[in-house]
Amino acid sequence: MSNSKNLKNKRKTKRKNKNTKGGEVQRIDNSKKNIDFERHMRDYFNNYGTAKQRWVRGQLKLPNNMRYESPDINSKMVDLPDFNPTLWNNYPELHANAGRRVQASHNCFTYGLNLQQEKTKKVCDDRLLDKKNKYKSCGKPQPGNAFGLPRVEGYEGYTCPNLHTKQSIENPYIFPVKEAEQCPKGHYKIALVVTDKPGNNGTYHYYRQGKQGNKILWDHKDGGRPATNKDASGKLIPMLSKADRDYTKEGGVNYNRICNYYCVPSSDKHKTMDIFIKGSNSQGGKKTKKNKNNKKKKYTRRS
């Protein structure tokens, strides 16, 4: 065997054995990074105050140089996204099945942003039809992809500081707030959560605050699963910090760490997401000629 082949095999073995011991995958512990991030955000709020105080001092910029206006109950209900699972979930028995191509292709991040994208649906369709895709899964948009950042690789990347940074670079109009803090007019609230010890299937997750009838509650969509307004115990979520986020009994993840709460613009114009496609121009792949007729990414309007 040539030296180049030996070196190649060594690299493969090294990658394969990373975070393993005795052939078993070891649980990565991201606790320190997440605790350090919590401390950092606590210092940030202590030093810079609420979002309104930051706006007054010119440290926070709202879309279109909007003024910071505190919402009343009526304006808040207008800004909140509706919990409407028929737009996100697959109901084969329904003739008009709006969520047919959405459930598998859109995840908690897109749901948190309240955005749907035709490109993401098509990529998912193509991957599910690909015979080489033995897992029958399709990629989904991740924080940072729209800015050209690659998707998170390895469970050590599913940390509060890493995801916060990717999200902030990609969506500068999404800004952090405390749990009890209200978002200004034209915004609603999301929350980023992670697990300190990812294990074999740990990842991140987003929850979204929305309206359900005349109530303000949290809802979410975990990966390619259906959107739901229930926590791990099957209860409604009026307060996320008190909700059951431990899905291990279902073979899922215990999202024990709330990284932070964020205010998101209600308008589609001031937020973005995209799907990672290996080798595309934005990901450092082969460049393609620019098309003068290229249009901005289109998002589906959800009522």
For residue 111, being part of any structural domain is answered with yes
Helices then strands, each counted (H, E), the chain: 7, 8
> How many structural domains are present in the chain?
1
Q: Kindly report the pTM of this predicted structure.
A: 0.84
**Collapsing DSSP states into helix, strand and coil, what is residue 257?**
strand
| Closest listed residue to residue 272, CA positions, set 139, 129, 127, 146 | 146
In-domain check, residue 150:
yes
Cα–Cα distances in angstroms (integers) from residue 167 to residues 68, 155, 246, 283, in the given order? 22, 17, 24, 17
For the chain, the residue count is 303
Q: Which residues make Cβ contacts (< 8 Å) with residue 146, sequence separation at least 6?
A: 170, 272, 273, 274
Q: How confident is the model at residue 27 (pLDDT cuts 50, 70, 90)?
A: low
Order the strands of the 215-221 sheet from edge to edge. Answer: 175-177, 257-265, 187-194, 204-212, 215-221, 227-228
The whole-number average pLDDT for the span 209-222 is 96
Residue 279 pLDDT exceeds 90: no
Q: Residue 156 domain-assigned?
A: yes
The domain of 61 spans 25-275
In a domain, 79, yes or no: yes
Q: What residue ranges in 120-252 does DSSP mark as E strands? A: 175-177, 187-194, 204-212, 215-221, 227-228
Give the mean pLDDT of 106-120.
96
pLDDT of residue 258 exceeding 50, the answer is yes
The per-residue pLDDT for range 174-203, each reduced to its tens digit, is 999 999 999 999 999 999 999 998 866 778
Question: For 64-102, what is each residue's pLDDT tens digit?
Answer: 999 999 999 888 999 999 999 999 999 888 767 777 889
- Looking at every residue in the chain, the average pLDDT score rounds to 84
Q: Average pLDDT, stretch 114-130?
A: 90
Instruction: Judge whether 8 lies within some domain.
Output: no
Q: Compute CA distances 218 → 130, 187, 240, whole Å.
A: 36, 15, 7
